[in-house]
Structure 1
Amino acid sequence: MYGFRNRVKLILQSKCISISTNKPKLKMNSCSDILKEFESGPLDLYRNKSTIDWKKMKVFIESEQILRYKMKAWSIFESDPLFNHSDETLTLDEQRRLALMRMYKIVEKKVFPFDEIMSTPRLSMTKMVTMFQYCPSMAIKVGLTFDMFSNVIFGMDNGRNSEIYQLAIEGKVPGCFALTEISHGTNTKAMRTTCTYDNKIKQFIMHTPDFEAAKCWVGSLGKSSTHAIIWAKLIMSNGDDHGLHAFVVKIRDVKTMLPYSGVIVGDLGEKANLNGVDNGFIMFDNYHIPKESLLSKTGDINDDGQYISPFKDKSKRLGASLGSLSAGRLGIINICVSYITKAVPIAIRYTAVRKQFGPTDGEELPVLEYQLVQCRLIPLLAATYALKIYGDYVARMYESFLFEMFSNSGSERLRLLGAEIHGISSCTKPVAAWTARDAIQECREACGGHGYLKAAGFNDLRSANDANCTYEGDNNVLIQQTSNWLLNIWSNLANGNKNACDTPLGSIEFLKQANSILRGKFMISRFDEGFIHTNLLSCFQWIICYLLERTSERVNLLKAQGVCKFTAKNESQMFFARDLSIAFAEYLILKQFIETTTSPDLDESHRSVLHKLASLYGFWLIEKHLSLMYEGSYANGPLASEVIKESIINLSSSLQNEAVTLADAIAPPDFILNSVLGASNGKVYENLKNALWRQKSTFERPAWWNEISTRSKL
């Protein structure tokens, strides 16, 4: 057993009183020692109109501990030439080399001390966001090569691979995680790589039957890993199949970096983005590995050569093994936050400076003054705050889960908590990814032609975030996990089990009042009634209950017609299971935002602005579900639609003078933001000129100039 496993447990247990999903108490200080005043410039027009202090808002949103943790790391990046940004696109090989060298520098310099993260587990997500906002490829390299590789061993091994684990956390064993196969990803049960135990030689024999069974999309495998965690079916000599298990496998000779005999490793090549990560595929030809390679917490081979496991149910065994994926999905929510908190501030700052048109014979106006721009960007600013607050919440949720896992392993509460977190992460990860996707695109378009420049920063954000919609579960497949969980709860409630809603996080407690909720009607008749946040939450509770009722009816109807359970669920996705999962995710994010606005640590001016933002976010979400509200007779006549649309317009306009300051509060420092359009000085055109003059190719004659001159006649 690892010596520090007990140390981690003791650390978490010592924090048991303070660990919860409630936000820690904060003081609204300005952290002036690390947050410097912005350079005076064109953005002063809006900054001087604001009623809030961007520094105080930033400390409140982040917490002083998190903010200092980030700023310390970013300062290290900015001071080291290895982390300098390139003005032009680098070759594939150079992108990978730089990501690798930066990864090793972070480990060697101990930028993110291991003991700090162990004492405050939520810092693991902060570490991730801090790196992703600088360079996603580097963040993925660190996260996969050392963090995920070591975490899986830590969570699934019984101590036999402690040396590999220790070397991995020290940055001396580069590893990777190989689950997905060429022809199967989500359907883990259909994966075909095998690992057969030979009791005569006390070894496993790993084999890939064909290319379709090759492990693929494995980050850090293509060029740089020496070890891999390989998921394969554990087969006994007599043919018994015990399903997927994880094995720690040596794949390359560390002295030559060439694969061992019996191992075929290939590189997947250039991708749409994230090219600092060397994704690869791997195949095995009857490759022998030691018995100790098996990560044995969920299943093992005893000295007599018999398979043993604490789980009799194979599906529960696999579920326990893959439980870490919920943590990955919670992490992706915060990756989305790291992207959207760059995109939206860039667009807000740029539109506050960019001037176009105006009243006849008057001065040109900043485009942020126009209603259409306000209603495109300021709701996205509200969504950014909502996701930022929710990302902080899930980090605390993850910390609570770790505490429960170490303190009450095997308890019924842990089982319920795991199921609830799985249900929550399976819908909020997709919604976060889609929100970031749409926000980045809208921000790019709002910045016009200049937004299309690489130096603007949007294009890299857009293509990097695109991966969030797929990995750790394709969004449209993943959200079905949430609707399945909710439908199961709904069925239990229908059968009289009121305790079905008593989950550790209380996310579905309102379903106990489903009958009265379904009898409710849309209650907002005036703009200002949207400031009563219970009205907004009531709308979502009705939408969720309505979709649950209709989806359940649809599934039961199909079953009554003789359709199997699988087909019944499959043919109920667009009617209405998909919308159900999305609405539930939006409700959870909005609810957390609203609860944050009531914090006693907010003064009145900052509370008022956050209150407006939460109202705007709520109306912006509800507008998407208007057709359902009319279909289910929750709303009647034009009033509901008019109130919702007018509220979005009025709230966006009322936040116009606060928009730049709110953007300042969530934007990272200029070095991390790395955008000529969104720099904090607001000197857009000067920044753009400097960027163009700095690029070597701006004024150079191209190498192919003679291809033009030889064809020119004048």
Structure 2
Amino acid sequence: MAPTPNVKEATGNQSSWNTLLPDFPKGPLSKYRKKASFNWKEMAVFLDGEDIIRLKNRIFSALESDPFFAHHPGEELSREKYQELTFLRCKRLFEYDFLTQQEIIENPLKILNMVICIGMYDWSPCLQFFLHCGVFGGTILSASKRFADFAKKIYNMEIFGCFALTELSHGTNTKGIRTTATFDHNTQEFIINSPDFEAAKFWVGNMGKHATHAVVYAQLYTPDGQCQGLHSFIVQIRDTKTLLPMPGVMVGDIGKKIGQNGLDNGFAMFHNVRIPKESILNITGDVSPEGKYSSSFKDVKERFSAALGSLSTGRILITAVSATNLKLALSIAIRFSATRHQFGPTDEEEIPVIEYQTQQWRLLPYLAAAYALDYFSKSLFENFVEFYAGLLTKQRSQRQADLGREIHALSAASKPLSSWTAQQAAQECREACGGHGYLAMNRLGEIRNDNDPNCTYEGDNNVLLQQTSNYLMSWMNCIRSKRLSFKYEMHYYIRQEKAMDVSTGWSEADIRSSVMSGRDSVDIFYEICLPQLRSGISRSIYRETTAEVAKCVSFLFKQLKDDAVALVDVFAPPDFILNSPIGKASGEVRLLVFHVYTFYSCVIHKWNVHNRT
């Protein structure tokens, strides 16, 4: 058994903590910080390490001192202005160059932490930056060395990119994508074409106004008329100087969204757009000058999975983004709950609402989830880094193949779990803060709305659960000595599910009868297994417990409530980044009155100016 890690040995001395993490200002929250059973600085250094904390401090300090990132209370930007400002902020992030290549090699987790830090301020410029560098740039880098010069232009911002997979009528069903890329061996070009508007690329981040190039996914057709499946191509969609559409390209913005309106999601259609033969991203296959197709993947399914390998990148990021939204919402709600006084033992004495068990039941399980998801998302990211390194070095080992399948399955499961958990938590935190939670300036509504698309893009959550279940079913084959047919695997799966009768209404006799009658096994799977998976996640989110477990949990809440503020202090960003009057590090809720007064002063001033003119 491995020894328990010594926190003090791992985190150094107290003087270094104080240098890295200054004390919080005195205020109402000081009471709970004194009650904590641990040193929050020690915990922060233990979880992140000094290097990561220095990086966070560097990013937070840079954003706070930069006029481009200044907050303007009481001023609501139009969507057009917000998108312009977001793009300027994205360009500014390139100028900072927060990480050197050597730092990334030494500690790849710094990339994830950089994304999280910027996202804590605002997800729109963060995602715009990541979509260009990570998804667009990363996909191109994983292809071949012939794109090395092109990659330099990406990171110099000479071009700006997007990742065009989803179509208007085909999102999660990527096999149904209908954009075509037909090879013309006479001109040595591919012809990119959208057969109709339903095949228009849609929901593409960065495409609405700013992208000059796109990684476009299309069905590859060789001169003999054969479809070789889904492949990716670099397509220029706008002029790099004027940003006007290229010939044959119709491109634009899709309109206002529920959240993340700084990010310009767009659409594009292609009318026989010709691109050079070298523009194919030969990750899974290539075409010879004579028009003959070749691929290093003999299995069609493996080729398809490799072609969509970039989707795992997005799902892993969404897991971390959702965990971050969870932490932001909890930072606000728990700090406010520790300072907001309501009711009490006497009419003259009111107590903080965090002392009430109902508030603890609402918030503390999500606090535990935040720590669990944070650790998991970072662990998954480290596994992905290993897998991505294998892609770049063209590894074909069994470990590489197994790692790819496992990352795909884990990311397909963690995205629904984390995004649904964050979504439910944001709503619970909003309600737990009462009317103040509903004020836009306190940011809980923004966090909830910005998290909402995490449940949908890079694969609908319900559909992704099926992919994870397929992976688990395949493992049942590996661990059993005798290989069974799908229908008996299904039978075995159902027998092991103790809650079967409660959650689906199916008994073992029902399953046996359905299987023996010849009913389609896929129908059985969707009717039984999928509800089980969804039910499991729902139980984890809604915290369904038995009476005995509830007693134990209530006992733990009494112990944890005094540590709740300190546990939030470990991951809460500075006040400038959190940008919530009721989530201030000092706990001075009276500052809310000042912010409201400032907001309405701005409104009244504008009204007076308007009347004078």
Change (3 A) 1:242 1:551: farther
Deviations for 1:252-293, whole angstroms, at most 9, x for unmatched residues? 111221111111002101111111111100001111111111
Show the 5 A alignment for 1:200-599.
Answer: 200-405=186-391, 409-496=395-482, 558-579=514-535
Q: Does 1:151 align with 2:56?
A: no
**C-alpha distance in 2 between matches for 1:581 and 1:665:** 27
Shift of 1:331: 1.3
117, 121, 124: which is aligned to 1:130?
A: 117
Name the amino acid aligned to 1:571: E
Measure how far apart 1:564 and its partner are: 3.2
Other-structure match for 2:184: 198
What does 1:27-46 align with in structure 2 at a 5 Å threshold?
A: 27=11, 29=13, 31-46=17-32
Cα deviation for residue 395 of structure 1 reads 2.5
1: CA distance, partners of 2:283 / 2:562: 56
- Structure 1 residues 198 and 486, CA gap change in structure 2 (3 angstroms): same
Residues 208-254 of structure 1: per-residue CA shift (max 9 Å, x gap):
11100000001110100111110001111221000111000111111
Quote the Cα distance in structure 2 between the aligned partners of 1:288 and 1:279.
24
Q: What is the match of residue 597 of structure 1?
A: none
Matched residue type, 1:680: A
1:182 aligns with 168
The 1:68–1:289 alpha-carbon spacing in structure 2 relative to 1, beyond 3 Å, is same
81-90 or 344-353, which moves further after superposition? 81-90
For 2:206 and 2:423, how far apart are their aligned partners in 1?
A: 25
Q: Does residue 612 of structure 2 align to residue 656 of structure 1?
A: no
| Distance change in 2, residues 1:303/1:325 (3 Å) | same
Equivalents in 1 of 2:510, 2:108: separation in Å? 42
Contact 2:140/2:281 (8 A) holds in 1 = yes
Letter in 2 for 1:139: C
Asked if structure 1 preserves the Cα contact closer than 8 Å seen for 2:20 and 2:53, the reply is no
User: In 1, distance between residues paired with 2:566 and 2:591?
Assistant: 22
The 1:70–1:704 alpha-carbon spacing in structure 2 relative to 1, beyond 3 Å, is closer
Q: Deviations over 1:303-337 (max 9, x none)?
A: 32211111222221111111222222111111012
Give 2:153's match in structure 1, choosing from 155, 167, 172: 167
TM-fit CA distance, 1:690: 3.5
Contact 1:554 / 1:572 at 8 angstroms: preserved in 2?
no
Amino acid at match of 1:356: Q
Structure 2: segments with no counterpart, 5+ residues: 1-6
2:571 to 662, 666, 682: 666
Counterparts of 2:510 and 2:217 in 1: how far apart (Å)? 37
User: How far off is 1:575 after superposition?
Assistant: 4.6
Say if 1:406 and 1:256 are closer, same or farther in 2 by CA, change over 3 A: closer
CA contact (8 A) 1:197 1:205 kept: yes
Whether contact under 8 Å (2:135, 2:163) holds in the other structure is yes
AA paired with 1:26? A
- Out of 26, 30, 42, which is 1:56 matched to? 42
* SS of alignment partner, residue 583 of structure 2: coil
CA gap of 1:398–1:552, structure 2 versus 1, over 3 A, is farther
Q: Using the alignment, how far apart are the partners of 1:160 and 1:395 within structure 2? A: 27
Report SS of the residue matched to 2:20. coil
Match of 1:81 among 35, 55, 67: 67
Asked if the contact 2:185–2:289 (Cα under 8 Å) also holds between the matched residues in 1, the reply is no
What does the per-residue CA deviation read over 1:532-557, in whole Å, with 9 as the maximum and x for residues that have no partner?
xxxxxxxxx9889x999x99998776
Q: Which stretch of structure 1 is more off in the superposition, 107-116 or 235-244?
A: 107-116
User: Counterpart of 2:4?
Assistant: none
Structure 2: distance between partners of 1:407 and 1:305: 27
Q: Compute the displacement of 1:663 (Å).
A: 1.3
Superposition deviation, residue 421 in structure 1: 1.5
Residues 561 and 124 of structure 1, relative CA distance in 2, 3 Å threshold: farther
CA distance in 1, matches of 2:107, 2:37: 34
Q: CA deviation at 1:491?
A: 4.0
Residue 92 of structure 2 corresponds to residue 105 of structure 1: yes
State the Cα distance separating 1:578 from its structure 2 match.
3.3
Aligned partners of 1:103 and 1:141 also within 8 Å: yes
The question of whether the paired residues in 2 share the 8 Å contact of 1:427 and 1:581 is answered with no
Q: Which moved more, 1:691-700 or 1:325-334?
A: 691-700
Give me the whole-angstrom Cα distance separating, in 2, the residues matched to 1:39 and 1:692.
23
The structural deviation recorded for 1:492 is 4.2
Q: Is the 8 A contact 2:188 2:289 kept in 1?
A: no
Distance in 2, matches of 1:284 and 1:695, equals: 49
Q: Is the Cα–Cα contact under 8 Å of residues 299 and 307 in structure 1 kept in the other structure?
A: yes
Deviates more, 1:225-234 or 1:566-575: 566-575
- Shift in alpha-carbon separation, 1:324–1:102, aligned structure 2, 3 A: same
The one-letter amino acid of 1:135's match is D
Structure 1: which 4+ aligned runs deviate by more than 6 Å? 541-544, 550-556, 703-706
Three-state SS of the structure 2 residue aligned to 1:86 is coil
571-580 or 331-340, which moves further after superposition? 571-580
Query: What are the Cα deviations for residues 484-526 of structure 1, in whole angstroms up to 9, with x where unaligned?
Result: 111222244445379xxxxxxxxxxxx9xx99x97xxxxxxxx
How far apart are residue 396 of structure 1 and its match? 2.3
Conserved 8 A contact 1:137-1:275: yes
Whole-angstrom distance in 1 between the partners of 2:471 and 2:139: 26
Q: In the alignment, which residue of structure 2 is the partner of 1:141?
A: 128
Q: Which amino acid aligns with 2:11?
A: K
Gaps of 5+ in 1: 1-22, 499-510, 519-540, 587-619, 627-640, 707-714
Partners of 1:552 and 1:172 in 2: how far apart?
A: 62
Indicate if the aligned counterparts of 1:427 and 1:582 stay in contact, CA closer than 8 A: no
Superposed displacement of residue 145, structure 1: 2.1
User: Does residue 678 in structure 1 map to residue 583 in structure 2?
Assistant: yes
Q: Are 2:600 and 1:644 aligned?
A: no
Cα separation, partners in 2 of 1:657 and 1:110, compared to 1, 3 Å = same
Q: How large is the Cα RMSD of the aligned pairs?
A: 2.9
Counterpart Cα distance in 2 of 1:566 and 1:574: 11
The answer to whether the 8 A contact 2:29-2:335 is kept is: yes
Contact 2:380-2:407 at 8 Å conserved across structures: no
Matched pairs, number:
592
TM-score normalised to structure 2 length: 0.90
SS in 2 for 1:298: coil
